[in-house]
């Protein structure tokens, strides 16, 4: 299971525990309330762990891409014909600034990274 799916499942679990906690508080069931508070705390720790792991993977991927020797912003014409550009440039990696990787790298425009000048 990938990290995105795992994070989604954990968030679903957290939501379910919060709903059950609210119902137990309404009933005034002290034992169940304490149990769900412990469950919520444990799931929150797991969520933070998965988010940190995602962040580390993005940072590593960003560093690997930035170590490619050549990079430049892509023109609108190149962006429009991305298939042709990728065919003509061997090993081209295109990073959009609105993706998680682009935000992590701090990009402001669509940028191409490649091992050779293009």
DSSP state letter for 116: S
* Percent of residues, the chain, with pLDDT higher than 90: 81
- How far apart CA 62 and CA 74 sit, in angstroms, is 18
CATH architecture of 68-118: 2-Layer Sandwich (3.30)
- How far apart CA 33 and CA 24 sit, in angstroms, is 6
- Please state the domain extents for the chain: 1-66, 68-118
Tokens of residue 51, six digits: 């988010």
Tokens of residue 89, six digits: 């440039």
Predicted pLDDT at 1 = 66
List pLDDT tens digits, range 58-108: 999 999 999 999 999 999 999 999 999 999 999 999 999 999 999 989 999
Predicted pLDDT at 54 = 92
């Amino acid at each position: 299971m990938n990290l995105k799916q795992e994070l989604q499942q954990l968030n679903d679990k957290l939501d379910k525990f919060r709903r059950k906690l609210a119902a137990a508080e309404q009933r005034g069931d002290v034992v169940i309330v304490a149990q769900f508070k412990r469950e919520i705390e444990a799931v929150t720790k797991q969520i933070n762990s998965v988010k940190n792991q995602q962040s580390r993977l993005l940072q590593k991927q960003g560093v690997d891409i930035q170590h490619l020797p050549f990079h430049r912003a892509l023109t609108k014409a190149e962006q429009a014909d991305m298939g042709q550009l990728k065919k003509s440039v061997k090993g081209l990696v295109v990073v959009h600034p609105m993706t998680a990787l682009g935000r992590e790298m701090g990009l402001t425009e669509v940028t191409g990274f490649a091992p050779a000048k293009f």
